[in-house]
Structure formats: C-alpha cells, structure tokens
C-alpha cells in the first residue's frame, strides 16, 4: 500500500519567516495530494490541494509544489503569522486504486511572535 | 450549521466497559469515515462506508464495530474498552467514493479509558 513520509516533525520559525514542509510518497499511481491544518484541540481542515497534472498551486501565503518524478510534494507558507501555528498533515490518494487518503505523521509548526 | 457533528465530545470510562460514539453529517455526502488520532497526533483510518456499505476496514480489533443506519449517520461502538483505546476519534465525510474529494471532519471525541 501507499506510504507517506513527512518532515520535519516539528518546525519552529519566527513571525515573518517562511516555512516549508516536505512529504514523499511511495505509490506512483497516487494523483491527489491534499494538505490539512489542525489547530490545537480542533478538527483537521483542508487548506490546499494539488492534483498530479499540476506542478504548483498557490493560494495567498500558501503554496504547494509537486514533483511526480521524484514522488515528493511540499507545502510552503510565506510571511508566517502566529495563527499559522498548528499541526499540518499531508496526504496522498489514488495509489493502488484506492480513494482513501494515506496521511503523513504531521508537522507541528510553531510561529514565534 | 454544523456540517459533521459527533457526540459526545468527551468520554471518560473504565476498562472493560462498552461505549458508543455517534456521528451525523448534513452535507449530503455518500461516504463517511472513522479515524483514530493517538497522542502523537497520527491520523489512522479505521473504517470507511459508502452509501451505508463498508468499503474499507483497516486492521482494527473486532471490539470496534461501525454501524451506518443511513447515509447521514455512522456510529462507532467499542466493546471491552482497553487503556490503549484512549485517543481522539474523528468522524469524517466526503463526496462519493471513487473521486478525489476533501474530507470534512467532525469536532472529535476524546476518549479516556481509566
């Protein structure tokens, strides 16, 4: 089955800096890659996603890039703010004909004011 | 309006007891899921139902039994609770299985087994 590795597990940045979270996946058939943000004590919520026919997608301060050849995708957050502090999960879907997401283990992002 | 709701929000119980968690979604979705999030925040899928039919059942002890009375509800019943069952359980829903869609999560149920 699909295996998703996510790094780093913890990321600490100063307000205004950029943050990058990287994920790799194992099944080349996966073709949908969502990112979820989970604030402390809250539910995970989708913040951005990318499909395999696209190399990059941007939404204001967040962007996601995908390299299908290398089987990795990344989340980029620019001009970080304290409210960006949360756990971020990547996921890969479509491998092995399954439409169930395989999640990475999460990255705890801490933005210091 | 609440899209995906779960009850109860907190559940504290003794080892060996049986408990249930209820989930309802008003999004009109066909597919619903149960996830377990442990203390290290790992999100592990447990079950997925499409139109009241079980489509995935990951390696989960048979003490856990999902029940879907209709498309809008997916309840989770747990027998003979163990300490290791302590976690946050999230229900989620999405558009039909067979397409790539956003998962809408419920608020979670924090289960503590003493």
pLDDT digits (tens, 9 = 90+) for A7-62: 999 999 999 999 999 999 999 989 899 999 999 999 999 999 998 888 999 999 99
Provide the total of helices (H) and of strands (E) in chain B, helices listed first.
0, 11
Q: Do A46 and B102 touch (CB under 8 A)?
A: yes
Q: Do A43 and B108 touch (CB under 8 A)?
A: yes
Give, in degrees to the nearest 5, the angle at Cα A47 between A44 and A53. Answer: 125
- State residue B50's pLDDT score: 86
pLDDT tens digits along B89-111:
999 999 876 677 889 999 999 99
Q: Do B45 and A105 touch (CB under 8 A)?
A: no
Is the pLDDT at B59 greater than 90? The verdict is no
Residue to mutate among B44, B54, B103, B109, with most A CBs inside 10 A, is: B103
DSSP state of A101: -
How far, in Å, are B3, B5, B26, B76, B92 from residue B107 at the CA level? 10, 7, 14, 15, 9
């Amino acid at each position: 089955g699909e295996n998703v590795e996510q790094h780093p597990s913890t990321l600490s940045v100063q307000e205004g800096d950029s943050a990058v979270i990287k994920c790799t996946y194992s099944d080349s058939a996966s073709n949908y890659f969502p990112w979820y943000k989970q604030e402390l004590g809250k539910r995970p919520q989708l913040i951005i996603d990318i499909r395999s026919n696209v190399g990059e997608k941007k939404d204001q301060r967040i962007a996601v890039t995908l390299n299908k050849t290398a089987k990795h995708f990344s989340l980029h957050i620019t001009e970080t703010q304290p409210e960006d502090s949360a756990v971020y999960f990547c996921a890969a879907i479509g491998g092995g004909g399954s439409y169930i997401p395989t999640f990475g283990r999460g990255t705890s992002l801490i933005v210091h004011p | 309006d609440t899209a995906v709701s779960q009850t109860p929000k907190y559940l504290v119980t003794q080892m060996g007891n049986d408990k249930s968690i209820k989930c309802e979604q008003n999004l009109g979705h066909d597919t619903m899921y149960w996830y377990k999030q442990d203390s290290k925040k790992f999100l592990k899928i447990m079950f997925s139902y499409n139109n009241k039919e079980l489509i995935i059942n990951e390696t989960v002890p048979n003490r856990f039994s999902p029940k879907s009375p209709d498309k809008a509800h997916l309840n989770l019943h747990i027998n003979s609770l163990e300490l290791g069952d302590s976690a946050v359980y999230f229900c989620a829903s999405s558009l039909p299985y067979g397409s790539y869609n956003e998962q809408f999560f419920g608020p979670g149920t924090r289960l503590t087994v003493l």
